[in-house]
C-alpha cells in the first residue's frame, strides 16, 4: 500500500537551510519547495503579500561573527599593507574574505557575515586592481588618460571576480556589486575619452546608469511577482544601487551652493512625490528612502523662507517623520488605488496586493 503524507506536514526554514548545508538539497530545489509551499491553494497568507521580505540577520550570532570578521580583516589589512604593499594587501584581504565565505557563507549560511564578506571581497579586488594598474604600464591604452584607465580596468576585473563569487556562493548582493563595478567602468571610460562631454553631461550620464540599473532590478522583480525566490533579493540590492543614481542627478541640479529658491524647493518636493509614487507602485521603498534627504533639504528651505528659521530642523524632522509614518500606514491602500489605474497585464506581473 502506498504511503501517504499528511497535508499538515511542513518543512521549516531551518530544516531547509540544514539540508542545503549538508548537500541534501540544492539552493534551487530549496527555493522551489518554498515557492510551492507559499503558493499552495487554501493556505492563508500570514502577512500582506506585498510586504518586502528581506533576511538581513538570522540572530545575534550573525552580529558576533561580523564583529570578528571586521577585527580580523582589519588587522590583516594593516599587516599585509606593511608586508606586501597596497595592491598585495587588497588581494590578500580578498583571498581571506573568500576563504572565510567558504565556511560562514557556504556551510553556515549566515546572512550578515555573507553580505559583509562579499562587500569586502569586491572592494578589495577593485582597489587592489586600481593600485596595480596605476603603477603599471602594461595596461596602458593610447586613447585613455592616465587618471581614468585604472578605474576602467579595475571595474572589469571586479565584474569577473564577483561573477566567480556568485557562481560559488550565490549571494544576492553580488549582482549589485558587479553592476556597481560596471557603472564605475562606464563612467571612468567616458570621463577619460571625452572629459569635456562628461563634465557637461555628468548628471544625465548618472541618470542613464541609474535608470539602466532600475530596469535590470525591475526585470528580476517582474520575473518573480510573488517574491518567493532569490530573484527578489537580487532585485532588492539592485534597487538599493539604482536609487541614489536616479535620485541624485534629478534633484542635485536644483540644489545650488547659494541655497534653494522657492521654485526649486517646490520642484524638489514634486520630484520626491513622483519617486514616492513609483516606489509604491513597484513596492520598493529604497527609492523613497534615497529621496528623503533631498526632501528634507527642500522643506527646510521652504520653512526658512517663510520666516521660521529657528524651527527649521525640528519642523523638518517632524514633517518627514509624519510623511514616512503616513506612507507606511497607508501603503497597501495606496497601492491598490494606483494599481487599479494600470493595465491588467502589467498589474499581474507586479507584486501582488491585498
Q: Using CA atoms, how far apart are residues 244 and 236, in angstroms rounded to an integer?
A: 14
The radius of gyration computed from the CA coordinates of the chain, to the nearest angstrom, equals: 24
Whole domain around residue 266: which residue ranges? 244-354
Residue 268 pLDDT: 74
Q: Using CA atoms, how far apart are residues 227 and 350, in angstroms rounded to an integer?
A: 10
- Using an 8 Å Cβ cutoff, are 283 and 54 in contact? no
In this structure, is residue 316 part of a structural domain? yes
- Using an 8 Å Cβ cutoff, are 104 and 110 in contact? yes
In this structure, is residue 163 part of a structural domain? no
pTM: 0.77
Q: Split the chain (354 residues) into runs of 10 and give each run's mean pLDDT.
A: 45 64 64 60 43 66 92 94 88 96 91 94 94 64 57 93 94 94 92 82 90 93 80 89 85 62 72 83 80 71 64 70 82 84 79 61
In this structure, is residue 99 part of a structural domain? no
Q: Using CA atoms, how far apart are residues 56 and 62, in angstroms rounded to an integer?
A: 9
Q: How many domains does the chain have?
A: 1
Q: Residue 315 class from Cβ within 10 Å (0-12 exposed, 13-18 middle, 19+ buried)?
A: middle
In this structure, is residue 255 part of a structural domain? yes
In this structure, is residue 180 part of a structural domain? no
Closest CA to 114 of 58, 182, 180, 31: 58
In this structure, is residue 288 part of a structural domain? yes
Cell of 267: 520642484
Q: Using CA atoms, how far apart are residues 187 and 327, in angstroms rounded to an integer?
A: 35
Cell of 155: 571595474
In this structure, is residue 15 part of a structural domain? no
In this structure, is residue 12 part of a structural domain? no
Q: Using CA atoms, how far apart are residues 195 and 201, in angstroms rounded to an integer?
A: 10
- Using an 8 Å Cβ cutoff, are 335 and 50 in contact? yes
Residue 335 CB contacts under 8 Å (≥ 6 apart), including other chains: 50, 280, 281, 283, 353
Residue 147 pLDDT: 61
Amino acid at each position: 500500500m502506498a504511503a501517504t503524507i499528511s497535508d499538515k506536514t511542513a518543512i521549516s526554514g531551518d530544516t531547509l537551510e540544514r539540508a542545503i548545508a549538508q548537500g541534501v538539497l540544492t539552493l534551487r530545489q530549496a527555493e522551489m519547495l518554498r515557492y510551492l509551499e507559499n503558493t499552495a491553494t487554501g493556505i492563508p497568507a500570514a502577512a500582506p503579500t506585498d510586504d518586502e521580505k528581506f533576511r538581513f540577520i538570522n540572530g545575534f550570532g550573525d552580529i558576533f561573527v561580523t564583529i570578528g570578521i571586521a577585527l580580523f580583516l582589519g588587522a590583516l589589512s594593516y599587516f599585509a599593507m606593511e608586508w606586501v604593499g597596497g595592491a598585495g594587501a587588497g588581494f590578500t584581504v580578498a583571498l581571506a574574505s573568500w576563504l572565510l565565505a567558504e565556511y560562514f557563507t557556504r556551510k553556515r549560511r549566515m546572512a550578515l557575515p555573507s553580505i559583509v564578506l562579499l562587500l569586502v571581497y569586491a572592494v578589495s579586488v577593485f582597489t587592489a586592481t586600481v593600485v596595480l594598474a596605476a603603477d603599471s604600464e602594461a595596461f596602458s591604452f593610447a586613447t585613455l588618460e592616465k587618471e581614468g584607465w585604472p578605474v576602467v580596468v579595475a571595474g572589469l576585473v571586479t565584474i569577473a571576480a564577483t561573477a566567480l563569487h556568485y557562481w560559488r556562493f550565490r549571494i544576492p548582493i553580488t549582482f549589485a556589486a558587479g553592476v556597481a563595478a560596471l557603472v564605475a567602468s562606464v563612467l571612468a571610460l567616458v570621463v577619460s575619452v571625452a572629459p569635456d562631454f562628461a563634465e557637461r553631461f555628468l548628471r544625465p550620464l548618472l541618470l542613464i546608469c541609474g535608470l539602466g540599473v532600475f530596469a535590470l532590478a525591475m526585470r528580476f522583480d517582474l520575473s518573480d511577482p510573488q517574491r518567493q525566490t532569490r530573484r527578489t533579493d537580487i532585485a532588492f540590492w539592485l534597487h538599493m544601487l539604482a536609487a541614489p543614481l536616479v535620485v541624485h542627478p534629478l534633484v542635485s541640479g536644483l540644489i545650488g551652493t547659494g541655497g534653494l529658491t522657492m521654485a526649486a524647493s517646490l520642484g524638489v518636493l514634486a520630484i520626491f512625490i513622483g519617486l514616492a509614487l513609483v516606489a509604491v507602485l513597484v513596492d520598493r521603498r529604497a527609492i523613497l528612502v534615497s529621496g528623503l534627504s533631498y526632501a528634507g533639504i527642500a522643506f527646510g528651505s521652504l520653512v526658512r523662507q517663510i520666516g521660521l528659521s529657528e524651527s527649521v530642523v525640528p519642523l523638518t524632522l517632524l514633517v518627514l517623520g509624519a510623511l514616512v509614518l503616513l506612507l507606511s500606514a497607508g501603503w497597501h491602500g495606496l497601492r491598490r488605488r494606483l494599481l487599479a489605474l494600470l493595465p491588467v497585464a502589467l498589474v499581474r506581473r507586479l507584486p501582488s496586493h491585498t
